């Protein structure tokens, strides 16, 4: 992908970009997970597709996200169930 000589069609280039994006390390995930959980509980736009992909694929971080969402919801005095659904549904 770094080779300037290699010619990619726009479609191939687009696919490569998509494939390069989804996986974060668990460390990257932990850097962003507080912010992510706040967005989930706030009910606004979440975005952060790479982090979400990581949470779906990594059970440890997925569990951490659920715990955080439950904690934040408890702090706000709201039902965590809708936020927990947003974790998986978007
Ligand atoms: Zn992880």
Q: Which residue in 29, 46, 33 sits closest to 72, CA to CA?
A: 33
Output the CA 70–ligand 1 centroid distance in Å: 18
In a domain, 13, yes or no: no
In a domain, 11, yes or no: no
In a domain, 64, yes or no: yes
Q: What is the pLDDT of residues 31-73, one digit of tens each?
A: 999 999 999 999 989 999 889 989 988 999 999 999 999 999 9
**Which is more confidently placed, 22 or 87?**
87
Work out how many domains the chain is built from and give that number: 1
In a domain, 17, yes or no: no
In contact, 26 and 58? CB cutoff 8 Å:
yes
In a domain, 34, yes or no: yes
Output the CA 48–ligand 1 centroid distance in Å: 15
In a domain, 8, yes or no: no
Segments forming the whole domain that contains residue 51: 22-89
Output the CA 30–ligand 1 centroid distance in Å: 8
């Amino acid at each position: 992908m770094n080779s300037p000589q290699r010619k990619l069609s726009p479609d191939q280039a687009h696919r490569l970009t998509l494939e390069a994006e989804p996986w974060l390390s668990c460390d990257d995930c932990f850097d962003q997970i507080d912010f992510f959980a706040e967005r989930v509980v706030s009910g606004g736009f979440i975005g952060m597709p790479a982090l979400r992909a990581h949470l779906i694929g990594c059970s440890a971080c997925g569990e951490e996200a659920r715990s955080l969402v439950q904690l934040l919801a408890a702090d706000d005095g709201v039902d965590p169930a809708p936020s927990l659904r947003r974790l998986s549904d978007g």
